[in-house]
Structure 1
Amino acid sequence: MLATVNRVLLAVVGAVLLAVGGAVLAVGFGAPPPSWWLHQGPHDVLLTTAERTRWRGDGWWWPTVIGALALLVLLALWWLTAVLRRRRLGELLVDTGDGAGALLRGRALEGVLTADAARLDGVAHAHVALTGRREAPAARVRLQLEPHVDPATTLDQLTARALTHARESAALEALPAEVRMRGVRHKAERVS
């Protein structure tokens, strides 16, 4: 959902900035201003002295302006942290038994888990993403199942084979997993 909100906000902000910036450039180069434009020509100022000093003496003006700008900055910071936050685990800390430990790339373990899950009977497509911390990873598994497959059997096989193999090979104490299964939709074909 956050990706959708991000795309919609970027599209709206981009469209507004493009429209206003294009209108400013066009009017600045001498084109006739659009019907919705606030001023009549390239020599008009954006805000006159009267418009700039209109509410300066009122007690509510500056707290409102500062509050609105602070809210805008907080929303921009929230948006930036949401975009920059990593969704996937970059590396795992593996206990090698000698007390030093080793780092395992998260994509490598994801690839192995995906291949193991895809080899299960009745799995048409598999996708695995590792989340969490490098000391305590978790797996998000998405499976597309063939129509003839029992989901409970596939889940048991996934737990007993792929997840157990990954947990033991990476020397992890636990590897919690969220598994989502969907059936493959086949298009209807005309039989003649």
Structure 2
Amino acid sequence: MLRIVNRVLLGVVGLALVVLGGSVLAVGLGVRPPSWWIHDGRHDVLLSDAARTRWRDQGWWWPAVIGALAVLVLLALWWLAAVLRRRRLTEVLVDVGDGEGALLRGRALEGVLAEDAGRLDGVAHAQAQLTGKRGAPGARVRLLLEPHVDPGHTLHLLTTEALAHARDSAGLAALPAEVRLRAVKHRAERVS
């Protein structure tokens, strides 16, 4: 969801900046703007002295400006934190039984899980990604299935074999998984 919001917001901001910048450039190069546009010609300014100082004497103006800018800064910081937050789990805490713990690289467990899932009958391609916390990881598995495969049977095999193997080998109590299944699309071929 956040990825969609990020892309839509970037697209809207980018489109607005391109339209505004392109129009200023076009007017500066001598293109005649429509009568309703924000400036009239190449020697016109975007904000006149009267427009910039119109609300300065009002008591609500400066608190409204500061409040709006503070909200914009908080939204920008939230957006930056959401973009920079790691989506992948880099390490998993493995209980070795002696009261100590060992760290297992997340990419290693992802690779083994994807390889085990890829070996299942009828799976053309498999991807795995670890999510959550290092003490309680979860998995996102994407499977590309051959057209003849029963998805229910493949899901059963995935949970009883590949996910159980990953959970047991890492010594985890549970390994919740989100599984996305997709079928391979074959192109029609001409037979002579």
TM bucket, shorter chain: 0.7 to 0.9
**1:83–1:101 Cα change, 3 Å:** same
Deviation at 1:26, TM superposition (A): 9.9
Deviations 1:29-48 (A, max 9, x none): x9658746747667x77645
Structure 1: give runs of 5+ residues left out of the alignment.
Answer: none
Q: TM-score, normalised by structure 1?
A: 0.82
**1:179–1:19 Cα change, 3 Å:** closer
Computed over aligned residues only, the root mean square deviation of the Cα atoms, in angstroms, reads 2.7
Specify the alignment match of 2:94 in structure 1.
94
The ranges of structure 1 where at least 4 consecutive aligned residues each deviate by more than 6 angstroms after the TM superposition are 21-27
Structure 2: give runs of 5+ residues left out of the alignment.
Answer: none
Question: The residue matched to 2:171 in structure 1 has which SS?
Answer: coil
CA contact (8 A) 2:126 2:143 kept: yes
- 1:88-167 → structure 2 map (5 Å cutoff): 88-167=88-167
Specify the alignment match of 2:188 in structure 1.
188
Distance (Å, rounded) in 2 between the aligned partners of 1:23 and 1:181: 46
State the AA in 1 paired with 2:191. V
State the AA in 2 paired with 1:162. A
CA contact (8 A) 2:38 2:46 kept: no
Deviation at 1:68, TM superposition (A): 1.9
Question: The residue matched to 1:190 in structure 2 has which SS?
Answer: coil
Distance (Å, rounded) in 2 between the aligned partners of 1:9 and 1:97: 48
- Percent of paired sites with the same residue: 70
CA contact (8 A) 1:23 1:34 kept: no
Question: The residue matched to 1:75 in structure 2 has which SS?
Answer: helix
Bigger mean CA offset, 52-61 vs 177-186: 52-61
- 1:55-66 → structure 2 map (5 Å cutoff): 55-66=55-66
CA contact (8 A) 2:114 2:127 kept: yes
Give aligned pairs, total.
189
Question: The residue matched to 1:56 in structure 2 has which SS?
Answer: coil
Distance (Å, rounded) in 2 between the aligned partners of 1:123 and 1:72: 47
